[in-house]
Amino acid sequence: MRIGRLAAGNGCGRMKKLILFLALFPLLAMGGGQTVMTGNHRHVFASGSPTFKQYTYQVGPTTPSVSKSITVSTGDLIVVDCRFDAASTISVSATGATMGTWSGGTIYGPTSSAGVAMFAALVTSGAATTFTCTGGTGYNSIIVLDYSSTLSSVTLLANTGFGSSINFTTATVSSISTSAKSLVVMCAAASSSSYAWTAGTINGNAATLRGVDYSSTASNATAGCEDSNSLSSMSGATATMTYGGNYGRSAGVLAIAY
């Protein structure tokens, strides 16, 4: 009787195939996504989801509009965050690239300072482009997030947020519900520029800080944006971001189907 020995030839081939299967099995079992544990949070990477490329920003001047230019490519998904002190309506426009229809635009904010309005659209023909937020008064800023994507249209599965007359350090948007997997983007605003934003969690997964209205995501800023992928539908989910001082005032969330 032979114990613990594989014959040469076919035996070695079977062993190599077994080793390869065991190495690939965790990825195959994930069914199109990957979850990586880091500390107490889960980082989720989803195949087919929009991929973050770059961000830009502009602060002021304190007029009803603020603009910033960036070069974008055909097929890109653009998310724009407009930060303002007060507004009855906010609109976004683009000069350069041809854009699809803008979605979003709901205003979240207290009556006197640090509101947000978020928009999303696809680039149908890429070019160097100036994006403009119009309608806000007081201290205005714009953050433009650029994602490569294979989307054919923008479908918002959630568009929610809040504005608070009471300052806070942690922005929390609750009761986020979607019917399918989505890229979830959260942006928040503060009535101060003396502290930095840090990423929180979205639906229990660690979010990634993608842009602020200053030159580095580690810098002090008035507004900031984070994102995370949700690999399935959400029901009553929560998204959070934290500001370094007790000056947070508003936040918004867009969940974009992919």
For 184-207, the pLDDT digits (tens) are 999 999 999 999 999 999 999 999
Tell me which amino acid residue 255 is.
A
Among candidates 123, 163, 132, 142, which has minimal Cα distance to 81? 142
pLDDT, average across residues 214-227: 95
Q: pLDDT tens, 90-103? A: 999 999 999 999 99
pLDDT, average across residues 12-36: 38
pLDDT, average across residues 55-84: 94
Q: Is the pLDDT of residue 220 over 50?
A: yes
Terminal C-alpha separation, the chain:
57
How far apart, in whole angstroms, are the C-alpha atoms of residue 226 and residue 114?
17
Give burial (CB, 10 Å; 0-12/13-18/19+) of 68: buried
Tell me which amino acid residue 75 is.
G
Q: Residue 47's pLDDT band (boundaries 50, 70, 90)?
A: low
pLDDT, average across residues 72-89: 95
Q: Is the pLDDT of residue 251 over 70?
A: yes
DSSP-derived 3-state class of residue 14? helix
Given the structure tokens 């390869």, which residue do they identify? 20
Q: What is the pLDDT of residue 63?
A: 79
How far apart, in whole angstroms, are the C-alpha atoms of residue 41 and residue 240?
13
Q: pLDDT tens, 126-157? A: 999 999 999 998 889 999 999 999 999 999 99
How far apart, in whole angstroms, are the C-alpha atoms of residue 65 and residue 225?
20
Residue 211's DSSP bridge partners are 225
- Percentage of the chain exceeding pLDDT 90: 74
How far apart, in whole angstroms, are the C-alpha atoms of residue 36 and residue 95?
39
Across the chain, mean pLDDT equals 85
What is this structure's pTM?
A: 0.82
DSSP-derived 3-state class of residue 15? helix
Q: What is the pLDDT of residue 20?
A: 40
Q: Is the pLDDT of residue 228 over 80?
A: yes
Q: Is the pLDDT of residue 76 over 60?
A: yes
pLDDT, average across residues 74-81: 98
pLDDT, average across residues 2-14: 43
Q: How many CB atoms lie within 10 A of CB 95?
A: 13
Tell me which amino acid residue 23 is.
A
Q: Is the pLDDT of residue 175 over 60?
A: yes
How far apart, in whole angstroms, are the C-alpha atoms of residue 192 and residue 156?
30
How far apart, in whole angstroms, are the C-alpha atoms of residue 143 and residue 214?
9
Q: Is the pLDDT of residue 11 over 90?
A: no
How far apart, in whole angstroms, are the C-alpha atoms of residue 207 and residue 239?
9
Domain layout of the chain by residue ranges: 51-257
Q: Is the pLDDT of residue 46 over 60?
A: no
